[in-house]
Structure 1
Amino acid sequence: MKPAPFEHHAPLSVEEAVAVLTEVGHDGKVLAGGQSLIPMLNMRLASPAHLVDINRVAGLDGIEVTNGAVRVGALVRHAGLERSEEAYAALPLLRQALVNVAHPAIRNRGTTVGSIAHADAAGEMPAILALTEGVVEVAGPSGSREIPWGDFFLGALETSLAAEELAVAVRFRRFAVGTGTAFVEAARRHGDYAMAGVGVAVTVTDGVVSGARVSFVSVTDVPSVLDLGPALVGVEPSGSAWESAVDAAAEAVHGHVDPEGDIHATAEYRRMLVTELTRRVLPQAAHRAGAAA
């Protein structure tokens, strides 16, 4: 199939883009990388009357590393962020997750902010924004605002972004010194959407765990973060400690998190995957925490 007819807009500034979005309202869609939007247009799962192409907007293609965060502009491609040595040094989790995003051709065009704004529960980057307690920077007709990750994701493919607002950047918060991270997912083929994925951050202080968090991919409609601190804080990073944390993750997924089954995996299989993937990533992250301490 081919897209339904639409009017193409090519603003040259954030202000101009916001003005167009304000004028067209819910009849408009923003085009950045287009790796999620274009297939939806082709299959007519989305039929906007207006396409607001922000690729000519200046100032949205930068990566900025500060003491507290890695800021990624709306036109930064996945591949650009993946290859950024400065971003990797500040927050290795970004590259650990990005290498799992689709295929190189898609990472060369797709944008990290676009992936987050798309809010697909099977996407890696929404889960990473959640794990880092990140924020989305937004520009609208009333000015700028910041939306914490927990307020941004409302449901599957649904965010709190208003129709007249533009996501201009996201900030991934950097972890404390002594934190190690790891990310792993299970897919039928590399590059396919994950049946389940797990990202984890473990902080080790003076030889014992002082904090641990885990986030999930393809498990819930919106990104979720589980605090593993009660099972790990104050203990030495070891096999027995990991089993306690894995049990806590399994209990959460079986009791409080309710994954849905689909053509890719049953709900029960997803629960099993989450348990096994958590078991794999915890020692990886702790090892890296020891190296980073």
Structure 2
Amino acid sequence: MKAAPFAYHRADSVKDVVELLTEYGDDAKILAGGQSLVPMLAMRLTHFEHLVDISRVAELQGIDLVDGDVVVAAGTPHALVGMDDEVAESVPLLTAVTPHIGHFQIRTRGTLGGAVAHADPAAEYAAAALALDATIEATSARGDREIPAAEFFTGLWENALAPDEILRAVRFPVWSGRCGFAVHEFARRHGDFAIAGATVGVQLDDDDVVTRCGIGLLGLGSTPERGSAAERAITGRPVSDVTAEEIGALAMSELTDVPSDLQGSASYRTRVGAAMVARAWTDAMREALDA
């Protein structure tokens, strides 16, 4: 199949993008790397009258350290995020999840902002944003605003951006002290969307007590999810009192929308998800203990 006809606009600045979105509203869609949007258009799963290409907007490229946070501009390709030394030093979970995103060709073209805005429930960057309490920076003609990652994902392929807003950047806080991070996911083949997976960050004090924990879940709901019950239960406890199996079970305990499809039933995904959380917790905890 081929995409239905649309008008193509190439923006040269964020100002151009904002003006086009203001003019066309719901009829316009941002085109960044196109790794998710183009196949959906080609299969006619969606249609927009206007596509706004942001791939040449210099303001939407790059990685900076700002006020103690790592700020990744929306148009920065996955591959550059995965290779960046500042990211590896300050937000190692992003470095860890990048190789799990599709294949090399997809990581070369796809963008971090596009992956987050697409709000796919199996998106690795979205799960990492949840686990790390990232902030989404949005821009429109009405001004700038910040959206916590916990409030950004509103439904299947849906987010909290207004029709005239563009995701400008994602700001990731830098965790300090004794920290560990890990990602585990299960897919039929490497590069496929995960059937279930987890990203975990943990912070310990000098007595090996958990002072902070973030768990982002993949493929276990209609949106990227968070293992909130597990986070609450283990914060403030010594790691010696916590088992990986407990963490995995708790992370699944509040999920109410686990999908069933050709890849696996809801119960199967839940069992796999618990195992992925347990493995990621174990690796992250070991890294924190060695820090």
* Interval containing the TM-score (normalised by the shorter chain): over 0.9
Tell me the equivalent position of 1:242.
244
Q: Cα distance 1:45–1:209, how it changes in 2: closer, same or farther (>3 A)?
A: same
Higher deviation after alignment, 223-232 or 76-85: 223-232
TM-score normalized by structure 2?
0.94
* Rounded Cα–Cα distance in structure 1 between residues aligned with 2:145 and 2:199: 28
Matched, 1:212 2:213: yes
**Cα RMSD, aligned residues only:** 1.7
* Counterpart secondary structure, 2:8: strand
Tell me the equivalent position of 2:273.
274
1:52 offset after TM fit, Å? Answer: 0.4
* Rounded Cα–Cα distance in structure 2 between residues aligned with 1:149 and 1:249: 18
* Rounded Cα–Cα distance in structure 1 between residues aligned with 2:219 and 2:226: 13
* Rounded Cα–Cα distance in structure 2 between residues aligned with 1:271 and 1:30: 34
* Rounded Cα–Cα distance in structure 1 between residues aligned with 2:183 and 2:11: 37
1:55-134 equivalences in 2 (<5 Å): 55-66=55-66, 68-134=68-134
CA contact under 8 A between 1:31 and 1:54: conserved in structure 2? yes
CA contact under 8 A between 2:82 and 2:98: conserved in structure 1? yes
The amino acid that maps onto 2:220 is V
* Rounded Cα–Cα distance in structure 1 between residues aligned with 2:129 and 2:231: 19
* Rounded Cα–Cα distance in structure 2 between residues aligned with 1:270 and 1:258: 11
The amino acid that maps onto 1:225 is R
CA contact under 8 A between 2:227 and 2:252: conserved in structure 1? no
* Rounded Cα–Cα distance in structure 1 between residues aligned with 2:76 and 2:105: 15
CA contact under 8 A between 1:208 and 1:234: conserved in structure 2? no
* Counterpart secondary structure, 2:29: strand
* Rounded Cα–Cα distance in structure 2 between residues aligned with 1:243 and 1:42: 43
Tell me the equivalent position of 2:24.
24
Percent of aligned positions with the same letter in both sequences? 38
Tell me the equivalent position of 1:138.
138
Q: Cα distance 1:246–1:5, how it changes in 2: closer, same or farther (>3 A)?
A: closer
* Rounded Cα–Cα distance in structure 2 between residues aligned with 1:236 and 1:150: 26
CA contact under 8 A between 2:123 and 2:224: conserved in structure 1? no
Unpaired runs of at least 5, structure 2: none
Task: Count the aligned residue pairs.
Answer: 289
1:58 offset after TM fit, Å? Answer: 2.2
* Rounded Cα–Cα distance in structure 2 between residues aligned with 1:260 and 1:103: 24
Q: Cα distance 1:31–1:234, how it changes in 2: closer, same or farther (>3 A)?
A: closer
1:76 offset after TM fit, Å? Answer: 0.3
* Counterpart secondary structure, 2:107: helix
CA contact under 8 A between 1:231 and 1:244: conserved in structure 2? no
Matched, 1:259 2:261: no
1:238 offset after TM fit, Å? Answer: 4.1
1:18 offset after TM fit, Å? Answer: 0.7
Per-residue CA deviation, residues 167-192 of structure 1 (Å, 9 max, x unaligned), is 11111222232121110100000000
* Counterpart secondary structure, 1:125: helix
* Counterpart secondary structure, 2:190: coil
The amino acid that maps onto 2:130 is A
* Counterpart secondary structure, 1:202: strand
1:67 offset after TM fit, Å? Answer: 5.2
1:168-183 equivalences in 2 (<5 Å): 168-183=168-183
* Rounded Cα–Cα distance in structure 1 between residues aligned with 2:187 and 2:249: 23
1:234 offset after TM fit, Å? Answer: 4.7
Q: Cα distance 1:233–1:13, how it changes in 2: closer, same or farther (>3 A)?
A: closer
Matched, 1:10 2:10: yes
